[in-house]
């Protein structure tokens, strides 16, 4: 086996149409291969020992390069090369953006019995983003989630989560999030500071945000993609119900991992075909 590599997007998807070019220290091309359906490159032609440059290109993505050292065996294991969407390092154009619920996910993961995870999501929510024109750190995010739209794939469990033991959707039908600031955390990463209103309690909550890029959609619009994560403690929001199955192990974990996959459309409303 000569060269092996995996080509992925920033959020972990395979880039099946990527082209990998390998050049030696003189700049001469010694190998050209295409990624398979799984975004993997497996070229069996052995390479001469030495240092090489691996260049990865794909339509719609910015090129990426990595160094590779070929050992006496003739093999080079490059590992995972991550491609950013074309223009992904640039911020979305300033102005209003509307989150598209049909192409976004608001999810949460809780530990169950100390050995596995239960995944859930909210299916009804509205959110808007305002990208500030001069100082991006002054951008704003506002979101409203319908608490009763919780869906874990089990009707009995969903009913319990909607009860007064947890979300108490009759008294607190909405979960809200309003940003209070934005801090740069990297080239394409940000920390969103904000206040989360949940179960009648409002607390500061930061989101770790990754900007995945901006591109055109099939309906003539412009879309931007983001992924955000955070962790919440149920007791911080007065949700203290639990059942201890044995010493030190609760039936339902007290910490929730929140995972947001967001797609926003430029403008103050969604197009009819979205």
Mean pLDDT of 248-274: 77
The per-residue pLDDT for range 60-75, each reduced to its tens digit, is: 788 888 888 888 887 8
- pLDDT band at residue 248 using 50, 70 and 90 as cut-offs: very low
CB 22 within 8 A of CB 68: yes
pLDDT per residue over 99-137, tens digit each? 999 999 999 988 654 455 788 999 999 999 999 988 888
Task: Note whether 253 and 112 are within 8 A (CB).
Answer: yes
Q: Residue 249: what pLDDT?
A: 40
Position 208 confidence tier, pLDDT thresholds 50, 70, 90: very high
Q: Which residue, among 139, 115, 116, has the nearest Cα to 128 in the 3D structure?
A: 139
pLDDT at 104: 95
Q: What is the pLDDT of residues 146-182, one digit of tens each?
A: 999 999 999 998 998 999 988 999 999 999 999 999 9
Who has greater pLDDT, 240 or 95?
Answer: 95
> Which of 12-16, 66-70, 108-112, 209-213 shows the lowest mean pLDDT across its residues?
108-112
pLDDT band at 253 (very low <50, low <70, confident <90, very high): low
The fold of the 3-83 domain, in CATH, is: Immunoglobulin-like (2.60.40)
How many CB atoms neighbour CB 208 within 10 A?
A: 15
pLDDT class of 87 with cuts at 50, 70, 90: low
Q: Provide the whole-model pTM.
A: 0.71
Structure tokens at 192: 């969103």
Alpha-carbon distance of 36 to 72, in angstroms, equals 26
The pLDDT assigned to 88 comes to 52
Residue among 111, 107, 110 nearest 122 (CA): 107
For the segment(s) 95-266, the CATH number from 1.20.1630.10, 3.90.1170.50, 2.40.128.110, 2.70.70.10 is: 2.40.128.110
Assess contact for 19 and 34: CB atoms under 8 A.
Answer: yes
Percent of the chain topping pLDDT 70: 89
Interval 16-29 mean pLDDT: 88
Q: Which residues contact 247 (CB under 8 A, 6 or more apart)?
A: none
Ranges of each domain in the chain: 3-83, 95-266
Banded model confidence at residue 271, pLDDT cuts 50, 70, 90: confident
Rg (CA), the chain: 23
């Amino acid at each position: 086996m000569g060269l092996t590599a995996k080509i992925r997007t920033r959020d972990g998807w395979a880039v099946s149409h990527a082209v990998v070019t390998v050049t030696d220290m003189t700049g001469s091309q010694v190998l050209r291969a295409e990624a398979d359906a799984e975004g993997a490159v497996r070229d069996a032609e052995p390479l001469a020992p030495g240092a090489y440059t691996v260049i990865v290109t794909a339509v719609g993505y910015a090129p990426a390069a990595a160094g590779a050292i070929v050992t006496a065996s003739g093999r080079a294991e490059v590992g995972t090369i991550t491609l950013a969407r074309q223009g992904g390092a640039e911020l979305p154009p300033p102005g209003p953006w509307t989150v598209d619920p049909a192409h976004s996910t608001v999810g949460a993961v809780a530990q169950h019995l100390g050995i596995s995870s239960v995944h859930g999501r909210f299916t009804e929510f509205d959110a808007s983003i305002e990208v500030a024109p001069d100082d991006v750190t002054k951008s704003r995010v506002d979101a409203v989630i319908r608490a009763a739209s919780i869906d874990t794939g089990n009707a009995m469990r969903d009913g319990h989560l909607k009860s007064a033991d947890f979300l108490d959707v009759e008294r607190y039908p909405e979960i809200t999030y309003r940003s209070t600031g934005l801090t740069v955390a990297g080239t394409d990463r940000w920390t969103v500071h904000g206040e989360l209103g949940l179960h009648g309690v409002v607390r500061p909550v930061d989101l770790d945000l990754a900007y995945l890029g901006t591109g055109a959609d099939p309906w003539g619009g412009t879309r931007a993609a983001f992924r955000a994560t955070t962790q919440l403690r149920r007791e911080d929001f007065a949700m203290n119900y639990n059942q201890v199955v044995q010493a030190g192990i609760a039936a339902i974990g007290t910490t929730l991992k929140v995972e947001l996959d967001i797609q926003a459309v430029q403008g103050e409303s969604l197009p009819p075909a979205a």
